[in-house]
């Protein structure tokens, strides 16, 4: 079966702009979570959605937001981009707490 699909793979944005990243989970998986990976902070949890509801949220400013649609696809949005938002953004889908499957990520560069 198809894995977790993230689009786009690469993105270059200018400071102050906003960006939307997309994640399509494995068919049948209702939980989608997002992580940010930077060299300095490592892998950090952003938020988790289940059946269109945000169940958990990490310690990120309100510029970071997300949503989940009825087909379980999820988007995350970052507004007013800062240089420090440059990172690899990873999405994972799961059934329960076992077996997380990650996508290939979106590498965002803010210039």
Partner 1 sequence: GIQVEQSPPDLILQEGANSTLRCNFSDSVNNLQWFHQNPWGQLINLFYIPSGTKQNGRLSATTVATERYSLLYISSSQTTDSGVYFCAVMSGGAQKLVFGQGTRLTINP
Catalog residues that contact partner 1 under the rule CB under 8 A: 31, 33, 35, 37, 42-45, 48, 50, 55-56, 58, 88, 90, 92, 97-105, 107
CA distance 3 to 102: 8
Residue (8 or 16) nearer to partner 1, CB: 8
Give me the least distance between CB of 97 and partner 1, in Å please: 5
Give me the least distance between CB of 96 and partner 1, in Å please: 9
Give me the least distance between CB of 16 and partner 1, in Å please: 26
Residue (80 or 109) nearer to partner 1, CB: 109
List CB contacts of 26: < 8 A, sequence separation 6 or more: 1, 2, 3, 4, 93, 101
> What φ, ψ does residue 80 adopt, rounded to 5°?
45, 65
CA distance 104 to 12: 17
């Amino acid at each position: 079966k198809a894995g977790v699909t993230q689009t786009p793979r690469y993105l270059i944005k200018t400071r102050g702009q906003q960006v939307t990243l997309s994640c399509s989970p494995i068919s049948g998986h209702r939980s989608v979570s997002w992580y940010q990976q930077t060299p300095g902070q490592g892998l950090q949890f952003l938020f988790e959605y289940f059946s269109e509801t945000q169940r958990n949220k990490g310690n990120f400013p309100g510029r970071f937001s997300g949503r989940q649609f009825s087909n379980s696809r999820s988007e995350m949005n970052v507004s007013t981009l800062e240089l420090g938002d440059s990172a690899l953004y990873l999405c994972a889908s799961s059934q329960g707490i076992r077996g997380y499957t990650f996508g290939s990520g979106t590498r965002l560069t803010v210039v």
